[in-house]
Amino acid sequence: MKIAIPVDSNNENTDVCVSFGRAPYFLIHDTESKKNVFILNEAANAQGGAGIKAAQTVADSKAEVLLTPRCGENAAEVINTANIKVYKSEKGAAKSNIEAFEKGKLSELKEIQPGMHGNNAG
């Protein structure tokens, strides 16, 4: 099974990124092979709809689980439609979050943020 996590940088010791849509990379961890793949998040600098595009990237990676500190409503709609389960990540290293998830210590992400909907971009 593949796990996706928004991360700050493309190395094994990276922290989880505080943002989902605007995270610079996604770490895709394969629980069977234990391999990590980093995907560049093209939505990081998107004019709008970053959450949708980021969620599309995660869905395209064939991840079945997403560990993230937060998730906007548009991203959640894509993620849910793609049947990806979302768990709330803890502050700190992506690595320790994967361990916590595998031990069943992370809970499902319930709170969904209302979207910015271009309010910032105007």
Question: Could you list the residues that contact other proteins (CB under 8 A)?
Answer: 43, 46-50, 52-53, 55-56, 59, 74, 77-78, 81-83, 115, 117-119, 121-122
How near is the Cβ of 81 to other proteins at its closest, in Å? 5
Find the shortest distance in angstroms from Cβ 48 to other proteins.
Answer: 5
Cβ-based nearer residue to other proteins, 21 or 36? 21
117: left (phi over 0), alpha (psi -120 to 50) or beta: left
Least CB distance from residue 103 to other proteins, whole Å? 30
